[in-house]
Amino acid sequence: MFKFVKKLKDKLATTKNNFIGKIAEAVNLRGVVDEELLEQLEEILLQGDTGVEMTTKIIDQLRDEIRINKIKDTEVVQEIIKNIMTEELMSGYEENEEVFVMTDKKPYIILFIGVNGVGKTTTIGKLAKRFYDDGKSVLMVAGDTFRAAAVEQLAIWSDRAKVDIIKQAQGADPSAVVFDGIKSAIAKNKDVVMIDTAGRQHNRANLMKELEKIYRTIQKVSPEGPHEVFLVLDSTTGQNAVNQAQTFNGIVPLTGLVLTKLDGTAKGGIILNIKKVLNIPVKLIGVGEGIDDLQDFDAKEFVRAMFT
């Protein structure tokens, strides 16, 4: 049986066709480089969830470069946009610094949080497989004791990825599960612990309190943990994803973002928007429902994939 690992550009087909595709279309249709074209591009960026701040920045810079270099060729305009986007996504980081790299702290504790249905559990499953393939020993902790079938869902992923799981019955205190999980990982000398949590709306105070408690529990067992707090965001939710990130970051300090469902959105601009408003690095991107559909976020590759 053959396994097809599609290239990022194929995975991003929807995004490409609708967001960047529209830029190309506008540029080609207009045929000349003028203020009208800039306005059209601005509109497309805004509709693609790029956000007001980032859109203004891109268009202003584009206008400057067109003026300074007396650009007349519409193809060059596309090239400039591409470069500006890449630069924006990479600004503040050394090359590849934003990529997810584990330290050799053991066990390396990763907490996954986010609102309902964004892809937390799925991302843990995909990442577990990757760690397993890298020869790392992994323990999943079923910290979502709220939703019926949540424990079972994670257990299925643990089977698929061939890694261990610590779980309790539905309704158990998630902090207690987390406490036991990390203790167990230390005892078993695991390399990585990935903690699943229940989906929670960022504006629900009691749920956010519970998250704080989970965080404190981790620190009780492992004073320097968690080593990563990944907020998982559904890229199809647009501007609301930015609000979620701001609120969650105020409760527990985020170390990175996982942007899922980039295969299903026409609005890849959200990645630029988040970078501008939050400056929390996107570490991983989800590009499908399968176990291999998780990739490191690489700004250059991402922009290139969108434009080709």
Ligand X SMILES: Nc1nc2c(ncn2[C@@H]2O[C@H](COP(=O)(O)OP(=O)(O)OP(=O)(O)O)[C@@H](O)[C@H]2O)c(=O)[nH]1
Contact footprint for ligand X (CB under 6 A): 114, 116-122, 144, 147, 150, 199, 232, 260-261, 263-264, 286-289, 293
- CA–CA distance, 217 with 269 (Å, rounded to integer): 36
Residue 106: HSE in the Cβ half-sphere, 13 Å Cα cutoff? 10
With contacts defined by CB under 5 A, name the span among 32-40, 61-69, 121-129, 202-210 that binds Mg ion. Answer: 121-129
Residue 218: count of CB within 10 angstroms of its CB: 27
Of the pair 41, 118, the CB lying nearest Mg ion is at: 118
CB of 261: closest distance to ligand X in angstroms? 4
Minimum CB–partner distance for residue 297 and ligand X (Å)? 12
Considering only 63-71, 117-125, 229-237, 257-265, which stretch makes contact with Mg ion by CB under 5 A? 117-125
Query: Least Å distance between CB 154 and Mg ion?
Result: 7
Query: Nearest distance from residue 294's CB to ligand X, in Å?
Result: 7
Answer with the entry of ligand X, Mg ion, none that 264 interacts with (C-beta below 5 to 8 A by kind): ligand X
| Contacted entry of Mg ion, ligand X, none for residue 218, CB cut-off 5 to 8 Å set by kind | none
Residue 122 interacting entry, from ligand X, Mg ion, none, C-beta within 5 to 8 Å by type: ligand X
Residue 269 contact partner, candidates Mg ion, ligand X, none, CB within 5 to 8 A by sort of partner: none
Measure the CA–CA gap between 170 and 148, rounded to whole angstroms. 7
**Is residue 11 classed as helix, strand or coil in its secondary structure?**
helix
The correct pick among 15, 121, 145, 175 for binding Mg ion (CB under 5 A) is 121
Task: Between 85 and 109, name the residue whose CB sits nearer to Mg ion.
Answer: 109
Tell me how crowded residue 201 is: count the other CB atoms within 10 A of its CB. Answer: 11
User: Closer to ligand X at the Cβ: 88 or 263?
Assistant: 263
Which residues does residue 7 pair with via DSSP β-bridges, in sequence order?
none
φ, ψ of residue 190 in degrees (nearest 5): -75, 150
* Maximum separation of any 2 CA atoms in the chain, in Å: 67
CA 199 → CA 83, 145, 156, 237, distances in Å? 37, 10, 18, 15
Establish if 122 lies at the interface with Mg ion (CB under 5 A): no
Which of the choices ligand X, Mg ion, none does residue 116 contact, using the CB cut-off of 5 to 8 A by kind? ligand X
- Cα separation, 60 vs 37, whole angstroms: 13
Q: Which residue number, 50 or 121, has a Cβ lying nearer to Mg ion? A: 121
Of 52-60, 88-96, 118-126, 300-308, the window that binds Mg ion (rule: CB under 5 A) is 118-126
CA–chain centroid gap for 23, Å, is: 24
- Coil, helix or strand at residue 112: strand
- Cβ-based neighbour number of residue 115 at 10 Å: 23
Rounded Cα distance, 155 and 160, in Å = 9
Q: Shortest Cβ contact with ligand X: which residue?
A: 199
How far, in Å, CA of 240 to CA of 174, rounded? 26
Q: Which does 174 bind (CB under 5 to 8 A by kind): Mg ion, ligand X, none?
A: none
Residues that bind Mg ion (CB under 5 A): 120-121
